[in-house]
Amino acid sequence: MTTSVAALPDLAVEVTGLNKTYRSRKGTKAALVDFSLQVPRGSFFGLLGPNGAGKSTLINIMAGLVSKSSGTVKIWDTDIDKDERHARLAIGVVPQELNLDPFFTPRELLEVQAGLYGVPKNERRTDEILEVIGLADKANAYARALSGGMRRRLLIGKALVHTPPIIVLDEPTAGVDVGLRQHLWKHMRQLNAIGTTILLTTHYLEEAEELCDRIAIIDHGRLVACDTKRNLLRQLDNKSVTFILSEPLTDVPEALKRLGATQPSPHEILIAYRPSSNAMREILDVARACNLPIADMRTEEVELEDIFLQLTTRAPGVPAEV
């Protein structure tokens, strides 16, 4: 897909007031509720949430596989209702489901996919993509003979054939070995560095924390947080420091008790604190004044998992307290 520099949109994905309700004999289930989201062009964007939160429904609507109940979705500044063809050309989706024709080889599947997207034969990158996804040596093997991890890699390859400006990865490393995972992320970082927008859903929160510059958290079909990774991690305002002592203490000095210090063991003193209220310098000054026999110290920072658990372990509609 060729786009002039002047025509590049500020937002790769723009979702406004999106609702999706599934209906069955048992009743109705709201998968997305007044959901709005903006994904900046060129970002490495994480979309996180527990199972059943609505992530896959959102992705399937973006990919044109599920009809929305109401709201608008723009892909690369194209409304999916007004110009579905151009919207789908702008996005490459790696689904969770291993939906591959078992009687095609990886090379054939990539060639067919490129043909479906209208990629001329002289512009196809089949061999390059097979190398990237680690299937060059399996290029002519039937898909049914591939392992689960290999099939998932092949799905990633299919999403790359038309060189879309947006790539959506829905749990791409489930069942993929560590070596291949690192190889995949290296390539995704390279794509992101040249301007490709990456939208990632994953249950491996450490992946999201390492890779993504912006993160949205969805729960019960609603957006409960969306910010830069740095700002999200600041929300809990919790840290801790543990002093490792060269000599055991029978009790915590009174000055440290006033800072909330506890003693997990005779050789340790633990202080949990809020950076907005207590500076590390203040804690160290008090520790020196108490003549603590400090041999070492370790600190613990807030992790993305802490934010995720706090925002997604509430009943539907209950606001977060951070």
**pTM of the full structure:** 0.76
The reply to whether 203 and 96 lie within a common domain is yes
Q: In this structure, are 158 and 220 located in the same domain?
A: yes
pLDDT, residue 181, reads 81
**Band of residue 322 on the pLDDT scale cut at 50, 70, 90:** very low
Are residues 209 and 124 part of one domain? yes
**217 and 160 both lie in a single domain:** yes
Same domain, 68 and 185: yes
Residues 268 and 296 grouped into a single domain = yes
Question: Which of 207, 233, 259 marks a domain boundary?
Answer: 233
Shared domain for 66 and 125, answered yes or no, is yes
313 found inside a domain: no
Q: Looking at the structure, do residues 108 and 244 belong to the same domain, yes or no?
A: no
Q: How confident is the model at residue 319 (pLDDT cuts 50, 70, 90)?
A: very low
Domain assignment of residue 312, yes or no: no
The model's pLDDT over 259-298, given as tens digits with 9 standing for 90+, comes to: 888 999 999 999 888 776 667 888 898 999 999 999 998 8
The CATH number of whichever domain residue 124 belongs to comes to 3.40.50.300
CATH code at 257? 3.30.70
Please report whether residue 30 resides in a domain. yes
User: What's the structural domain count of the chain?
Assistant: 2
SS3 of the chain? CCCCHHHCCCEEEEEEEEEEEEEECCEEEEEEEEEEEEEECCCEEEEECCCCCCHHHHHHHHCCCCCCCEEEEEECCEECCCCHHHHHHCEEEECCCCCCCCCCCHHHHHHHHHHHCCCCHHHCCHHHHHHHCCCHHHCCCCHHHCCHHHHHHHHHHHHHCCCCCEEEEECCCCCCCHHHHHHHHHHHHHHHHCCCEEEEECCCHHHHHHHCCEEEEEECCEEEEEEEHHHHHHCCCCEEEEEEECCCCCCCCHHHHCCCCEEEECCEEEEEECCCCCCHHHHHHHHHHCCCCEEEEEEECCCHHHHHHHHHCCCCCCCCCC
Give a yes or no: residue 306 inside a domain.
no
In this structure, are 63 and 149 located in the same domain? yes
Binning pLDDT at 50, 70 and 90, where does residue 235 land? confident
Among 10-14, 49-53, 300-304, 311-315, the range of highest mean pLDDT: 10-14
- 220 and 184 inside one domain: yes
296 and 195 together in one domain: no
Residue ranges making up the domain that contains 276: 237-300
Q: For residue range 161-182, list pLDDT tens digits in order.
A: 999 999 999 888 776 778 778 8
Residue that is last in its domain, among 233, 258, 284: 233
For the chain, give the mean pLDDT.
87
Does one domain contain both 159 and 218? Answer: yes
